[in-house]
Amino acid sequence: MRDLAIALSLGGLTFLVTVIWGDPFIEVLRRLNVGKLIRVEISDVHKSKRGTPTMGGLMIITPVVLVTLGLNAARLVLPGVTGRSILVPVAGLLLYGALGALDDWEGIRGQGPIGEGLTARVKFALQVIVAVGMALVLMFILDIHSVALPGIAPRFSLGLLYLPIAVLVIVGFSNAVNLTDGLDGLAGIITASAFACYGIIAFLQGQIYLTQFCFVMVGACFAFLWFNAHPAQLFMGDTGSLALGATLGIVALMTGQWLLLPIIAIIPVAEALSVILQVASARFSRRFLGEDRRIFKRTPLHHHFELSGWSETQIVQRFWLVGILAGMVGVALALL
C-alpha cells in the first residue's frame, strides 16, 4: 500500500504545483491573444465564451512530463533498471499534445473558417501515423500484445491483430475525448476519473510506475479544472483533449484491460457514437426518405441536452455521475 500512498501523494503535489502557476500562465495566453474561436453552429449558445484563452492542455502536459521524468530520472539513465516503459505514455502525451497545439494554433492564427484548424484529413492522418508508432513500440519493444477478459485469469495473445486494434483504441479515444471537450469542466473531469480508475487497475497489476503516472495525470487534470470550472477562465483546446484521449488509450493498452475502456470512459464513447449516429441518420434519411431526419437535436451529445433545456452545469455534473458509476463498474470487472 505504500506505493499507492506515494502515487496518491504525487497527484496531490502535482495539483498544488500546477494551480500555483495557473494564473500567470493564463495571463501569458491572454497577452498572446490565444483566444477561443467559437464554431458558427454553436455560436448561439456559447458566444459569451469567445476570446477565452485556449491551449490550456499545456497546463496539464507540462507538469505531468516534468514530474514523471523527474521521478523516473534514475530509471531512464542507469542501465539494467526497469521502469522505462513509462516513456511510452509520456511520448504519446507529448506527440498528441503537439498535434493538438498545431491544430489550435492554425485555428487561432490561420485563414480558415472560424474555430477550425487543420483539415480533418490531415489531422486524422497525423493521428494514425503517431498511433502506428505507439502500437509498434507496445508490441515489439514492450512485448504487449494481449487482452485481459474479466473473470478469466490467462490473457489471450492477439498476435499481429493487436496492431490495428491498438491504433483504433488510441485514435478512437483521442477523437472521443476531443468531441467531449465542449462544456466547461466536462472533458477534464471525465478523463481525470478514467485515469484514476486505470491507476487502480495498474496498481492491482503491480505496475507501480504506471500507477504513479495515472495519478499525476489526475492531479494535473484537477488543477486544470480549477480554472476550467464554469464559467471557465481557460479551455484545454485540442492541445489537451487529443493528448488526454490518446494517452488514456495507451494506458489502457499497457494494462491489457482495454476492453473495459468503453465502460470506464463511457461518456466519451457516447459522445463519439452520437456523432456517428447523427451523420448516419442524416445520410440514410436523405437517400431513402428524401428528407433530412436526425436522431439528436445537435451533436456531440452534450449539445443535444443543452437544446433540451439542461444547463451547462447540470450536464457536466450528470455526465460526471454517470462516468464515476461506469468507472466503478469497470474497476469491479477488472477485479474478477
For 48, which DSSP code?
G
Is pLDDT larger for residue 292 or for residue 334? 334
Q: Which grid cell sits at 3?
A: 506505493
Query: What are the Cα distances from residue 138, in Å, to 160, 166, 269?
Result: 12, 9, 23
Residue 291: per-residue pLDDT: 78
What global pTM score does this model have?
Answer: 0.93
For 117, which DSSP code?
-
Is pLDDT larger for residue 93 or for residue 291? 93
What lies within 8 Å, CB to CB, of 103 at 6+ separation is 117, 118, 123, 238, 239, 242
Q: Which grid cell sits at 238?
A: 485540442
pLDDT, tens digit, 9 for 90 and up, residues 271-328: 999 999 999 998 888 888 777 788 899 999 999 999 999 999 999 999 999 999 999 9
- Could you give the CA distance from residue 319 to residue 221 in angstroms, rounded to a whole number? 17
pLDDT grade for 71, boundaries at 50, 70 and 90:
confident
Residue 216: per-residue pLDDT: 97
Residue 276: per-residue pLDDT: 95
The yes-or-no verdict on residue 39 having pLDDT over 90 is no
The yes-or-no verdict on residue 50 having pLDDT over 60 is yes
With pLDDT > 70 as the criterion, what percentage of the chain qualifies? 90
